[in-house]
Structure 1
């Protein structure tokens, strides 16, 4: 298998005249989580001249909103690290910027999500490739795979030492920004999407499209179900043993021997001058919003000057609008009836 496969360019454009088809609603519940040899995908640009990749000039601003919803406990966790370069020893000269953003959605408790939020990026820093290399992509891939495996092993060791044993598990969706390249690693059903402006084929005018940066892992997917069944597990009512809704996760020690793994899917995406923002969110958001709807919702708040926003001290108008869009998106998910925890990270991209 090649290191990089092709990630198809999105063809659906969300606008008032044409809405992309939405995937069928899946049953949700308790979560837990895909593949011995994960797909590692790279976005290929169709027109490099028009895309105008601007290395080293990107400005990233991150915002977060978290809502407990109707749950008794907040089991989500998140991390915003817009600058990790200073804590890397002997960084490569190829790494002009290192940033990290992550959302973790816990189930059966909050201990796995909190552990991952506290420890995963430290393990990532310790394993990050040092010095210059011709194979930086391969080294970063290995670093991410090793980091997820180590984080899972460390949590399971701690969980098994408790009386009674912790049964917590967590999804993980992490975006590592190296210079102007996104590396996305994910387990479970939290998601990451990118808003990109593209030339319309008909009118020639630019339109915003939604590009998926992550892959959901649940036992209803054929490859996931086959792995679980080969390991001696069963899938009932769309869940592992009729209980666990995800097929890959950090934690969930009681399911690890029957095919629930901690190997993430990895994707690589070169940022371009046409990229607007990234959304990372737990499934609480996507129970009531399609990915395209989330992008359109943010665009409305950011672009429509008739939508009033409150500007915090030191914020520009643009920053205030992204901040407001993030907060309103999370609140709207709750208003639409999502009873789950909702965490949204919005990262604006400016060249």
Structure 2
């Protein structure tokens, strides 16, 4: 079974809702009130179905670097920042990791601005083909964020040369949309039955990496007049897509993210979003199994106000980042662990 549904091509439909008609008489008004009640009942039923509860935990380690160039955002209730959601959308959540290079300014800019742009561009009112519009929204948001940062970077003296990867997970009700640039990753832990009737946790990739050694990425860079040496763009840049990196944009480095989508189910336990500092010393499956082992550990310290489950996830997130450093990762390490509970 294919986990990811291919997203349709972007649409140019800009209709944000239906115009209100004037009320002609009391009978029509009563009819409209009935329609309004029906819509409210539908909304209440939708909420009563119960969306997955998501909670984010973060751990960040500087490693052996002189400074921290990673940034992150955890907004499980992004929908509370807007009152213009599409009619049938009840929840937006947003989690993101940004791995900066050449400085922290691109990653900080993306962390501060990308979700605001996302909200501004998100579909509104009565819409059809929501998936197409969400996909278009994400593509436009990444492009706009990159353009705005490059505009700011080029106006500085000396010009900023910072760049950043971006792995963002937007949750629309129970649909996950992962937009990724560069070599940070998103992975999902899903429980599946085995042949002997037991259950096992499997690791499902939610993102695709972009580096210049990949054939399609290398061909694009070479067509743009760039070169790939020692696995890097012009022998310097490790990633082939990023926010910022203005000096490499003419060499085929782009800010178009890879987009993937899946729908959450009760079989899903958690998602890991992390920069490449983690995955230099952990495989995705090792990271998932490491988290699962700690979640099953009964000897966990609880902070005031935490539930037992929250304490386990907090401990798992912190220990995973610490273990990455212990295994010899010299890079910054940022891990976001998102628990999923139906």
Per the alignment, residue 150 of structure 1 pairs with: 144
Say if 1:146 and 1:84 are closer, same or farther in 2 by CA, change over 3 A: same
Q: Deviations over 1:13-70 (max 9, x none)?
A: xxxxxxxxxxxxxxxxxxxxxxxxxx759xxxxxxxxxxxx96431111100000000
How far did residue 294 of structure 1 move?
Answer: 0.4
Distance in 2 between residues matched to 1:235 and 1:40, nearest whole Å = 31
Per the alignment, residue 17 of structure 1 pairs with: none
| Larger Rg over CA atoms | 2
Distance in 1 between residues matched to 2:152 and 2:84, nearest whole Å = 31
Q: CA contact under 8 A between 1:106 and 1:171: conserved in structure 2?
A: yes
Per the alignment, residue 240 of structure 2 pairs with: 247
Distance in 2 between residues matched to 1:90 and 1:126, nearest whole Å = 9
- Tell me whether 1:215 sits opposite 2:205 in the alignment: no
SS of alignment partner, residue 143 of structure 2: helix
Q: CA contact under 8 A between 2:52 and 2:174: conserved in structure 1?
A: yes
How far did residue 199 of structure 1 move?
Answer: 1.3
Among 165, 182, 185, the residue aligned to 1:188: 182
Q: Deviations over 1:180-231 (max 9, x none)?
A: 010000000000000000111x212111100000000000000000000000
Distance in 1 between residues matched to 2:125 and 2:196, nearest whole Å = 47
Distance in 2 between residues matched to 1:334 and 1:40, nearest whole Å = 37
- Tell me whether 1:115 sits opposite 2:88 in the alignment: no
Distance in 2 between residues matched to 1:296 and 1:112, nearest whole Å = 32
Per the alignment, residue 335 of structure 1 pairs with: 326
SS of alignment partner, residue 323 of structure 1: helix
Q: CA contact under 8 A between 1:76 and 1:343: conserved in structure 2?
A: yes
Q: CA contact under 8 A between 2:98 and 2:167: conserved in structure 1?
A: yes
Distance in 1 between residues matched to 2:122 and 2:50, nearest whole Å = 19
Per the alignment, residue 49 of structure 1 pairs with: none
Per the alignment, residue 164 of structure 2 pairs with: 170
- Tell me whether 1:274 sits opposite 2:267 in the alignment: yes
Count of aligned pairs: 303
How does 1:22-61 map onto structure 2 within 5 Å? 40=7, 56-61=50-55
How far did residue 268 of structure 1 move?
Answer: 0.6
Q: Which runs of 5+ in 1 are unaligned?
A: 10-38, 42-53
Q: Which runs of 5+ in 2 are unaligned?
A: 9-47
SS of alignment partner, residue 220 of structure 1: coil
- Tell me whether 1:311 sits opposite 2:302 in the alignment: yes
- Tell me whether 1:179 sits opposite 2:173 in the alignment: yes
How does 1:46-125 map onto structure 2 within 5 Å? 56-125=50-119
- Tell me whether 1:198 sits opposite 2:189 in the alignment: no
Taking structure 1 as the reference length, the TM-score comes to 0.84
Distance in 2 between residues matched to 1:161 and 1:254, nearest whole Å = 14
Runs of 4+ more than 6 Å apart: none
How far did residue 304 of structure 1 move?
Answer: 2.6
Distance in 2 between residues matched to 1:55 and 1:304, nearest whole Å = 32
After superposing the two structures, state which structure 1 stretch, 256-265 or 56-65, moved more: 56-65
Say if 1:8 and 1:268 are closer, same or farther in 2 by CA, change over 3 A: closer
How far did residue 133 of structure 1 move?
Answer: 1.6
SS of alignment partner, residue 93 of structure 2: strand
Distance in 1 between residues matched to 2:63 and 2:131, nearest whole Å = 39
SS of alignment partner, residue 300 of structure 1: helix
* RMSD of aligned Cα (Å): 1.6
Taking structure 2 as the reference length, the TM-score comes to 0.86
SS of alignment partner, residue 258 of structure 1: coil
How does 1:127-138 map onto structure 2 within 5 Å? 127-138=121-132
How far did residue 132 of structure 1 move?
Answer: 2.5
